[in-house]
Amino acid sequence: MFLIEEELKKLKKGKKHYSKDLLKLRDNICKQLKEKYKKDIEVNILADLIDIDENSEVWRNAVEGYLGNQKFNLIIELYADKMFINAENIVVDGEKYILP
């Protein structure tokens, strides 16, 4: 019960719950981009870039329903060489990731 209450508190503060695999992938892409381009390059989860008024439950449901799992897409400021992303798998410099 305590874990559920903790998750609810995080959600109310605007912190979203993402899978560890997605966060690991985002961090790995950020690290590789920094190594390649010698500067920080933003990699955002699409859902973090969408801001809907907390009182607009109808809009929130509509947007989330429309986006579906696409809300977990990564938005990258700059494309790296040798990066391929599609719905089934992600390959970054030869390392393959499969997300649920």
What pLDDT, in 10s, does the model give residues 41-85? 888 888 888 888 778 888 888 888 888 888 888 888 765 455 555
Residue 94 has pLDDT above 70, yes or no: no
Comparing CA positions, the residue from 27, 22, 24 lying closest to residue 42 is 27
